[in-house]
Amino acid sequence: MSAVPELSGPVRAALQAGRPVVALESTIISHGLPRPDNLAAARSFEEMLTGAGVTPATIAVVDGVPKAGLGEADLERIALDESVVKVGGRDLAMAMAARRTAGTTVAATSLLAARAGIRVFATGGLGGVHRGFAESPDESGDLTVLSRTAITVVSAGVKSILDIPATLERLETLGVAVAGYRTNRFPAFYLTDSGQDLDWRLDSPQEIATVMAARDLLREESALLVANPLPPDRQLDPELHDRVLAESLAAAGAAGIRGKAVTPFLLGYMRRATGGVSVAVNMDVVRGNVALAAQIATAWSERGAG
């Protein structure tokens, strides 16, 4: 088997030349956004990067091969094929051996991006500690992988379906660095502000690149999370959000949803209960993060630091 992940031509060329590259995850395509619009969404994230002079590296597993940089046919399979599974970091080797086709979560994408030497990764919102942890302990594998993977992740905090204060505590314990982008407050994915204060804020892509360089000097082996909020006028109406989220959590409990089905179930419920508005907001969240990730990757490549 060749090197993991397999790099597309453009991704390989950009990395070799020290030009900016941004990794994108694929679970958001296969399990986060509804078909068939998810395919257009996946393309639009890539086009945003290309338009900013950055090479997109969408990461997924296709017929058992982990790839960074997908061709059109691969992107279509990830978006449209209903047999595509969701894989976290721990699932990767099994998906490879069983030749599965899989959307990679933040965990699996971070791991593969770091192996490829990609420094910056954009997603929507991370997984984290679920509400009701005391009764049913559910914590995303995203956190543990980020605790031992050196990559800069741009996300609108963690999904608001989670227990956000508990997730921030876990990020601290796990040694994941967290900074707000132009804010001192931790965002909440669909919502601009979770109400949680942050110790650090960074105000420009150059400042973030400077932090990345300092982390390299320290030989940090954990992730830097750049928490990038939606502008308040683009967020989901907080009242609607709270009402619909309470309903979706109750529905997940009643239906006995467990394990890796929980997050897709809650996002799907939110979509139906908001008449699709939550999906439009989710798209805005990802677009904002992709745009910032492009600037960070560019600032990083301009330092000539690799």
Positions touching Mn ion (CB under 5 A) are 138
110 binds, among Mn ion, ligand PSU, none (CB under 5 to 8 A by kind): none
DSSP 172-219: HHHT-EEEEES-SEEEETTEEEEEEE-S-EE-SHHHHHHHHHHHHHTT
Question: What are the structure tokens assigned to 102, written together?
Answer: 């899989």
Establish if 141 lies at the interface with ligand PSU (CB under 6 A): yes
125 binds ligand PSU (CB under 6 A): yes
Min CB(119)–ligand PSU separation in Å: 19
How far apart are CB 159 and Mn ion at their closest, in Å? 11
Does 298 participate in binding ligand PSU (rule CB under 6 A)? no
Give 21's DSSP letter.
E
For the chain, the straight-line distance linking the first and the last C-alpha, in angstroms and rounded, comes to 27
Structure tokens belonging to residue 82? 């209903």
Q: How far is the CB of 225 from ligand PSU (least distance, A)?
A: 13
Give the DSSP letter of residue 32: I
Q: State in angstroms the smallest separation of the CB of 37 from ligand PSU.
A: 14
* 23 vs 141: CA distance, rounded Å: 18
Angle at 81 between CA 76 and CA 86, to 5 degrees: 100
CB-side exposure of 207: number of CA atoms within 13 Å?
A: 11
Binding to ligand PSU, residues 256-285 (CB under 6 A): 260, 263, 267, 282
Mask of contacts with ligand PSU, 8-47, x by CB under 6 A?
A: -----------------x-xx--xx---------------
Quick one: 69 or 89, whose CB is closer to ligand PSU? 89
Tell me if residue 159 is catalytic: yes
- Choosing from 105, 160, 194, 248, the residue that interacts with ligand PSU (CB under 6 A) is 105
Closest C-alpha to 123, from 243, 28, 18: 28
Instruction: Report the residue number whose CB is nearest to ligand PSU.
Output: 124
3-class SS at 127?
A: coil
221 carries an active-site annotation: no
- Residues 149-175 as b or e (16 or more Cβ within 10 Å = b): bbbbbbbbbbbbbbbbebbbebbeeee
Cβ atoms of 263 and 130 within 8 Å: the answer is: no
> Closer CB to Mn ion, residue 25 or residue 138?
138
89 binds, among ligand PSU, Mn ion, none (CB under 5 to 8 A by kind): none
For the chain, state the CA radius of gyration.
18
Q: Which is catalytic among the residues 67, 86, 159, 260?
A: 159
Q: Which of 6, 25, 46, 47 is catalytic?
A: 25
Residue 106 binds which entry of Mn ion, ligand PSU, none, CB below 5-8 Å type-dependent: ligand PSU
Question: Cβ of residue 149: shortest distance to Mn ion, in angstroms?
Answer: 18
Question: In the bound complex, what is the minimum distance in angstroms from residue 296's beta carbon to ligand PSU?
Answer: 18
Rounded to whole angstroms, how far apart are CA atoms 278 and 153? Answer: 22
Comparing CB distances to Mn ion, the nearer of 90 and 99 is 90
Q: Is 127 in the site for ligand PSU (CB under 6 A)?
A: yes
Q: List residues near ligand PSU by CB under 6 A.
A: 25, 27-28, 31-32, 105-107, 123-125, 127, 140-142, 260, 263, 267, 282, 286
Residues annotated as catalytic are 25, 159
